[in-house]
Amino acid sequence: MNCSKLYLGQEVKNYKEMCKLLRENEYEGNSKKSQLKEWCRYFGYEKAGQKFLIKDIYNEPLPKTDRRINGNNSVYIAYIELLLMKYLAAKPGNNCELVKKDLYLNLFMVNQNYILYADEKNRGALIKNIDGMTQFDVRDFYRRVPTRLDKILVSALNNLRNRFLIEYCEEYVVVEKDGDTELHRTAADNEVSYIIKTKNKVLENLELQSMVQIYYRFSRKKFFNLTNKVFLRERNWLYVYKQYKIIFIGDEIKNNIPVAEFEYAKNELNKKIVEVLCKQAVSQFCRNIDIYSDRQEQIVDEHKADEMFWGTLPDYALEQKNEKYKLHPKYVQNQNKLVDYLIKLNAIPL
């Protein structure tokens, strides 16, 4: 299988085109089902109608024997398990609610800077204080990294659930005005139905089909601004967000975890995440160069008979709506700088 033509956020219009890109034969019935499962070893995708939306591309194929259990995320699970157990052990009772960013922080998957600069209003400092940094670099970082972090986190939570150590679910939280304060409460079932219906309408209005497209077309801020405007107008809600509710076995969780082991897990998990994010940036850059070179050759072939065509093909001639853009030469270097500032523990302040 040749995945060199794939890139993060890519939209492939149908199965036939996917086979063409991957240089694979087309199949039907059970053979096709087996082929689709095999593709999942090499890249993560989401279906939207007939379209394939590329969510992730793995540096190494998932082993056939364990891809349905932990896959490429198994290296993180032992560390996350220990860190999460330590965190839960300090909680009273047997349940807690956490938004995703708090889980990332408490599991030492990111540092505080990552949370601060996730808000686009604060990103000017990154661009100003990191030499050579561009707005595109920061936006692309916050486009690709959350997908990878979420995949690692969910794999670990599912592993703990499968061993009956925890149960967890995602809940919608509605935020309303209560005098001068904000009231946060869990959405009722009928309100959840309204929330997803509203999101679906906004998605259609933006001519998009999934959250994958929202992230990879840099439309996240626009999407949530539009949905929040509808919530405010129709329900008088300020905004809505998701949180994890984790229920755990109190007696089992509260076993003593040695401090030295905890410190080791904290540092090793963060180190592994740094490594995979840096590798992903290199892989994405190399794929981009290959795809862009092929596109350039195609355009040259299409225009070589044109009397007005001469010299070097300009970059803008290669750009097409919804297709891959050309990454600048310092892309990998800048992505690694962002990993240093936003992911690594004990990062140097800006």
262-315, pLDDT tens digit by residue?
888 999 999 999 999 999 999 888 888 777 666 555 544 554 444 443 444 344
**Which of 190, 216, 239 is the last residue in one of the domains?**
239
> How does the average pLDDT of the chain come out, rounded?
84
Alpha-carbon distance 283 to 281, whole Å? 5
Q: What is the mean pLDDT of residues 198-222?
A: 88
With contact defined as beta carbons under 8 Å apart, do 185 and 176 qualify? yes
Q: Looking at per-residue confidence, does 27 or 304 come out higher?
A: 27
What is the pLDDT, as a whole number, of residue 307?
A: 43
Alpha helices in the chain (DSSP H): 15-22, 29-39, 74-89, 100-106, 112-118, 124-129, 135-162, 189-205, 211-216, 220-235, 250-253, 259-303, 331-342
pLDDT confidence tier of residue 259, bands split at 50, 70 and 90: low
Cα-to-chain-centroid distance, residue 147: 1
Identify whether 104 is part of a domain. no
Q: Looking at per-residue confidence, does 171 or 54 come out higher?
A: 171
288 shares a domain with 233? no
Identify whether 209 is part of a domain. yes
Identify whether 186 is part of a domain. yes
Alpha-carbon distance 40 to 61, whole Å? 9
With contact defined as beta carbons under 8 Å apart, do 18 and 55 qualify? no
What are the pLDDT digits (tens) for 162-172?
888 899 999 99
What is the pLDDT, as a whole number, of residue 67?
A: 44
**Against a cut of 0.75, is the pTM above it?**
yes
Q: Looking at per-residue confidence, does 311 or 227 come out higher?
A: 227
**Which of 222, 239, 256 is the last residue in one of the domains?**
239
**Which of 23, 39, 57 is the last residue in one of the domains?**
57
pLDDT-above-90 percentage for the chain: 47
What are the pLDDT digits (tens) for 126-166?
999 999 999 989 988 998 899 889 989 998 899 889 888 89
What is the pLDDT, as a whole number, of residue 316?
A: 39
284 shares a domain with 234? no
pLDDT-above-70 percentage for the chain: 85
Please identify which residue in the block is written with the tokens 């499968």.
Answer: 162
Query: Given a cut of 70, is residue 16 above it in pLDDT?
Result: yes
With contact defined as beta carbons under 8 Å apart, do 205 and 226 qualify? yes
Q: Which residues of 117-152 are buried (b: 16+ CB within 10 A; e: fewer)?
A: bbeeeebeebeeebeebeebbbebbbbbbbbbbebb
Tell me the two tokens of residue 125. Answer: 């400092």
Which of the residue ranges 106-120, 185-199, 274-288 would you say has the lowest mean pLDDT? 274-288
What is the pLDDT, as a whole number, of residue 168?
A: 96
Identify whether 223 is part of a domain. yes
pLDDT confidence tier of residue 188, bands split at 50, 70 and 90: very high
Identify whether 31 is part of a domain. yes
Query: How many residues make up the chain in this entry?
Result: 350
Identify whether 245 is part of a domain. no
pLDDT confidence tier of residue 255, bands split at 50, 70 and 90: low
A 10 A CB-CB count for 299 gives: 15
Identify whether 273 is part of a domain. no
Q: What is the mean pLDDT of residues 212-222?
A: 84
- The range of the structural domain enclosing residue 31 comes to 11-57
> How many folded domains does the chain comprise?
3
What is the pLDDT, as a whole number, of residue 114?
A: 95
Identify whether 233 is part of a domain. yes
Q: What is the mean pLDDT of residues 330-336?
A: 94
